[in-house]
Copies of this chain bind each other. A is one copy, B any other.
């Protein structure tokens, strides 16, 4: 045996053995291998995307999706399945048209942005003014864009960790409000995605009834290229935009929660999240049917063991994530007095690429537990990072200020933004092998977290301090 390998064994093997019992570790390894040999939950996302399909929060598909989730989780045999309400203002698409009318006539592939107001029924015709990014638009003098359509051309960069999304998406999240301040009539963006396929992407803009917004749409990346070329010809480019979207009354949907009751500490919960809603244009296979499949399959594997975990495990399928984390907000609010009952949380909401990395935001005394869990994930190709920046995923973000302990299992997102929030997010984009690897990772994580003899730190001052860094 070579010295480094021996050293590695000395460093890691005793660690796990010190924290977890032999039988807990044996079960973790058995879960890992049996889940890898299973379906990864593919039949779950197949059924969701086929029977329900697109399921925009507050649409007619919303209650059908909730019914589907309750029936599916009940049928799988979870100890308890229930719903918790989440209320939010809905938005419906209607139709959108974006076309160049001068110097030549050409239709663009476009999607209105979530919470975009409608244009007047006859649409808007105006000259386009192009900006490199939101900062350039912010730098424009007040009222200089009167009667214009603003076009922000920033391009999202491809990266495994999806880090290109955050900077680019500002144009979508805040661009319309900034353009409104400058006197513009409407706003266009290049799609916040990495594909050169001719799909426009959608997504939400900031919803704030106190601030004036504008009709806003994203055009596909090839159409954004075309618009740049047309502007480059040197003549004014005039565009017609017509959006018939509607912001509606408050609607109440539901987070759907299924629980495996813990044998020793049933009130302590390992929370696995995913969101049930999707945008309205694809069937939401990657976003987030895959997450629904992954966490349900992981928990179901644990449910099928001949013993219950020490702590409870919950599968939480959130409502209305896409249009503003409304399910996550309701979840946090409902737990504002007892967030410490959540031992640790992790959400799967980044498509179906394989997990390559793990990060944890826990109290320092729980770090050895995380390291012991990571050692059991390592055979799946997952490395523990030094970063303590885990968010547990978007739906748990509203609970982070309460002191929620968070784990992130980072998926390879190199290709995720080729499909994200487009019509092209369909079942065929899911790689079954990667789905199995994901389900196995969550099964190992959830099982060992539920067997952990140490707390991960809910509400601890250390977490508070980290947040302020």
Copy total for this chain = 2
Contact check, A229 vs B50: say whether CB atoms are below 8 A apart. Answer: yes
Q: Is A305 an interface residue (CB 8 A)?
A: no
Which residues of B sit under 8 angstroms from A427, Cβ to Cβ? 222, 225-226
- Rounded to whole angstroms, the CA-CA distance of A426 and B199 in the bound complex is 12
> Is the CB–CB distance between B106 and A226 below 8 Å?
no
- Classify chain A: how many residues form its interface, as a range: 20 to 34
Instruction: Indicate whether A225 sits within 8 Å of B104 (C-beta atoms), given known contacts A50-B233, A230-B50.
Output: no
Given contacts A222-B428, A226-B283, A229-B46, contact A423 B51 (CB under 8 A): no
In Å, the complex CA distance between A53 and B101 comes to 12
Contacting pair B230 A423 (CB below 8 A) = no
Are A226 and B51 touching (Cβ within 8 A)?
no
Chain B residues lying within 8 Å of A283, measured Cβ to Cβ, are 106, 226
Is the beta-carbon distance between B196 and A428 smaller than 8 angstroms? Answer: yes
Interface presence of A467 (CB below 8 A) = no
Query: Which residues of A in the span 345-387 have a Cβ within 8 Å of any Cβ on B?
Result: none
Chain A 422-449 residues near chain B, CB threshold 8 A: 423-424, 426-429
Q: Is B54 a contact of A198 with CB atoms below 8 Å?
A: no
Contact pattern, A 96-112, Cβ under 8 Å of B = 1, otherwise 0:
00000000111001000
Task: Say how far A193's CB is from chain B's closest CB, in angstroms.
Answer: 13
Q: Would you call B424 and A197 a contact (CB within 8 A)?
A: yes
Which parts of A399-458 form the interface with B (CB within 8 Å)?
423-424, 426-429
- A53-67 toward B: CB 8 Å interface, digit per residue (1/0)? 110000010001000
Bound-state CA distance A457–B105 (Å) is 46
Would you give the shortest CB distance from A172 to chain B, in whole angstroms? 21
| Whole-angstrom CA separation of A123 from B160 in the bound complex | 46
Q: Does A328 sit at the interface, judged by CB under 8 A?
A: no
Q: How far is the CA of A224 from the CA of B285 in the complex (A)?
A: 16
B429 touches A196 (CB 8 A): yes
A41 sits at the interface (CB 8 A): no
Residues of B within 8 A of A273 (CB): none
Cβ–Cβ contact B109 & A423, under 8 A = yes
Question: In the complex, what's the smallest C-beta–C-beta distance from A293 to chain B, in angstroms?
Answer: 15
Chain B residues, CB < 8 A from A104: 51-53, 64
Instruction: Kindly list chain B residues whose C-beta atoms are within 8 Å of the C-beta of A197.
Output: 197, 199, 424
> Beyond A197-B197, A423-B198, is A50–B428 a contact (Cβ under 8 Å)?
no
A282: interface (CB < 8 Å): yes
Which residues of chain B are within 8 angstroms of A424 by Cβ–Cβ distance? Answer: 197-198, 222
The 4 A-B residue pairs whose C-beta atoms are closest, nearest first, are: A222-B426, A53-B106, A198-B424, A50-B229
Residues on A lying within 8 angstroms of B by beta carbon are 46, 49-54, 60, 64, 104-106, 109, 196-199, 221-222, 225-226, 229-230, 233, 282-283, 423-424, 426-429
Assuming A46-B229, A50-B229, A53-B104, what are 8 further A-B pairs, CB within 8 angstroms?
A49-B226, A50-B226, A50-B233, A53-B105, A196-B428, A196-B429, A198-B423, A225-B426
